């Protein structure tokens, strides 16, 4: 599928949308603290408008999302979000082993055939890797990682 859009207009609109969101967030901020965000927002607005005008005056279309599979990107992204969201519930160790294994299995499907035998090799590797990081952080660096219903 050929995905070509006017990236100048798209970037300008995203810039305006972001500054709009920031302006809403500034409603309850004191006047002394608001000085810099207002200026930064105004500069971002100005640059976004310049980009939109450039996109309208000299329209050019560029290919976007042309590399790799978009579906794979979205599914992996959703798995990352789920991983982080369940971390306080299941705890760092359990959630990381679970979701890292799921991501490895999902991504491996694009390159190789996934069999039970392979999964039985991959999962212990993931457990060893997560255990290594877990021990380093909790025992040596004394950084407590999120705990959940198990530990």
Partner 1 sequence: MAIIPGAGGNIANLVAYNEAKRASKHPEKFGTGLPEGLVATESSNNVTVAGSMVPLLTLGIPGAPPDAVILGVLMLHGLRPGIELFTVSGQLTYGFILSMALSAMVMVPVGLLGGRLIYKVIFKTPYYFLVPTIALATILGTYGVRNSHTDVVLMLVLGTLGHLLKQLGVAPAPVVLGLILGNIAEMGYVQTIFSGQASQYPFLKLFESGLSQILIAMTVLSAAWPYLLALRQRIQARKASPTEDRHE
Asked if 50 is part of the footprint of partner 1 (rule: CB under 8 A), the reply reads no
Binding mask 102-131 for partner 1 (x = CB under 8 A): -xx--xx-xx----------x--xx--xx-
Asked if 47 is part of the footprint of partner 1 (rule: CB under 8 A), the reply reads no
Three-class DSSP category at 64: coil
- Cα 25 to the chain's mean position, in Å? 22
Asked if 112 contacts 54 with a C-beta cutoff of 8 angstroms, the reply is no
Specify the residue, 27 or 54, whose C-beta has the smaller distance to partner 1: 54
Q: Taking Cα atoms as reference points, which of 92, 78, 102 lies closest to residue 150? A: 92
Asked if 11 is part of the footprint of partner 1 (rule: CB under 8 A), the reply reads yes
Angle at 49 between CA 45 and CA 54, to 5 degrees: 150
Binding mask 75-104 for partner 1 (x = CB under 8 A): -xx--xx-xxx-xx-------x--xx--xx
Closest contact distance (angstroms) between CB of 28 and partner 1 is 18
Distance (Å, whole) CA 116 – CA 36: 57
Closest contact distance (angstroms) between CB of 132 and partner 1 is 10
Residue 26: Cβ within 10 Å count: 12
Q: Taking Cα atoms as reference points, which of 6, 37, 149 lies closest to residue 91? A: 149
Q: Taking Cα atoms as reference points, which of 97, 99, 91, 105 lies closest to residue 138? A: 91
26, 29, 35, 53: residue in contact with partner 1 (rule CB under 8 A): 35
User: Given the rule CB under 8 A, which residues bind partner 1?
Assistant: 7, 10-11, 14, 32, 35-36, 39-40, 62, 64-65, 73, 76-77, 80-81, 83-85, 87-88, 96, 99-100, 103-104, 107-108, 110-111, 122, 125-126, 129-130, 133, 137, 141, 143-146
């Amino acid at each position: 599928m050929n995905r070509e859009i006017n990236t100048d207009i798209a970037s300008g609109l995203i810039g305006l949308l972001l500054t709009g969101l920031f302006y809403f967030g500034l409603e309850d901020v004191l006047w002394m603290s608001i000085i810099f965000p207002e200026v930064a927002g105004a500069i971002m607005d100005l640059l976004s408008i310049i980009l939109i005008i450039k996109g309208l005056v000299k329209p050019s279309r560029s290919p976007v999302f042309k590399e790799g599979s978009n579906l794979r990107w979205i599914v992996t992204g959703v798995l990352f979000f789920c991983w982080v969201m369940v971390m306080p519930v299941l705890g760092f160790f359990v959630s990381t082993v679970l979701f890292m294994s799921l991501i490895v299995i999902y991504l491996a499907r694009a390159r190789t055939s996934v069999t039970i035998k392979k999964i039985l090799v991959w999962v212990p590797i993931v457990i060893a890797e997560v255990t290594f990081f877990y021990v380093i952080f909790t025992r040596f660096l004394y950084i407590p990682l999120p705990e959940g219903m198990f530990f």
